[in-house]
Amino acid sequence: MGWHLIRGYALLVYVFMFLPVAVVVLLSFNASQFGSFPITGVSLRWFGELAQNEAILRAFRTSIILGLLTALISTTLGVLASLALVRYRVPGENVISTLLIAPILVPEVVLAVALLLFLNFLGVNKSFGLLLFGHVIFTLPFVILVV
């Protein structure tokens, strides 16, 4: 009986988490301008509108480039840092390890807002480089921990 309750609870959690995503995907095929039920018809019109929106395409390109560069930089630095910490005697190794792993303990949203507020306090203009820097700060501890 216990496992059935756990499985049922897990199923409810999955439904709760994925049902909104399924509804958004379903409504993306709606012919009507506004998402509502019942669906008035099936259409691919909104995907065409999306493909013609330059701001969305620019954001998509930026996201792809940002993701690729973040993965490349974090992987490179993370592997090098992990190898150095494991193979060599580094002065202050525990402090360095703690500082490299610490961002994992802070929720992503808190870390992002804190970084943005700090950079605004310093008067640094927002740029792609700073966005990349923030993403690397967040992903680097995961690479170091895994490697």
End-to-end CA distance of the chain: 40
Model confidence pTM above 0.85: no
Average pLDDT per 10 consecutive residues for the chain, totaling 147 residues: 87 92 85 74 80 90 95 94 83 79 78 82 84 87 87
The pLDDT value recorded for residue 76 is 95
pLDDT of residue 72: 96
CB 135 within 8 A of CB 70: yes
Please give the backbone phi and psi of residue 140, each rounded to the nearest 5 degrees, phi first.
-55, -45
The confidence score (pLDDT) of residue 61 equals 93
In this prediction, residue 79 carries a pLDDT of 92
**What was the pLDDT predicted at 67?**
94
- Which residue do the tokens 């992987």 mark? 75
Answer whether the bond into residue 20 is a cis peptide, omega within 30°. no
Task: Look up residue 118 and give its two tokens.
Answer: 């700090």
Please report where in the chains the tokens 């923030």 appear, as a residue: 134
Q: What local confidence, expressed as pLDDT, does residue 75 receive? A: 95
Cα separation values, 13 from 9, 19, 37, 107, Å: 6, 10, 24, 21
